[in-house]
Amino acid sequence: MKDIIYWNAKVQEEIDNYPDAVRDRINFELVALQCDYPHSFDNFDFYEVLSDGDLLKERKMEYPPAQKKSMRETIGRYAMQLTIKSTDSYRMIYVTKFEEAIYVLHTFKKKTEGVARKDYKTAAGRYKQLEEYRKKT
């Protein structure tokens, strides 16, 4: 199973500060990527066990939908974007191509309808750094 490598502590911190459902969905998607599932966990039902005195109840958990797309033209050859639409839209830029790890390069909350140029520029810079790092090792 591949390791998950966050580009820097800020990337992990941003994910940790997202709403619970969004953070959980990102983590589920990362596990799916680690396990080489071709799709996400969209076809699975998740249940939360609730304790009510001596009774145990299950509640089906609802997670926001996720979409994946290639960012080859915008960021780099193997870059992918995960979009999670909840009340707001959250994005994660990552690379799974390399055998040793899944690299999470950048995450952000999209605030406008337009293209997130600043965030894509940040991710593209990190992608180039990743390529340089891999050439050295």
**pLDDT tens, N- to C-terminus, the chain (137 residues):** 889 999 999 999 999 999 988 898 898 889 888 887 755 555 555 555 666 666 666 666 566 778 899 999 999 999 999 999 888 899 999 999 998 999 999 999 987 787 789 999 999 999 999 999 999 87
pLDDT at 39: 58
pLDDT of residue 45: 57
CATH entry, 3-39+65-136, from 1.20.81, 1.10.3470, 1.10.10, 3.30.2310: 3.30.2310
What is the pLDDT, as a whole number, of residue 53?
62
Q: Residue 101 is encoded by which pair of tokens?
A: 């790890």
The domains of the chain are located at 3-39+65-136
Query: Distance between CA atoms of 71 and 64, rounded to whole angstroms?
Result: 22
Distance, CA of 67 to chain centre: 10
Task: Kindly write down the DSSP assignment for every residue of 40-95, as one continuous string.
Answer: -GGG---EEEEEETTEEEEEE-----EEEEE-TTTT-TTEEEEEEESSSEEEEEEE
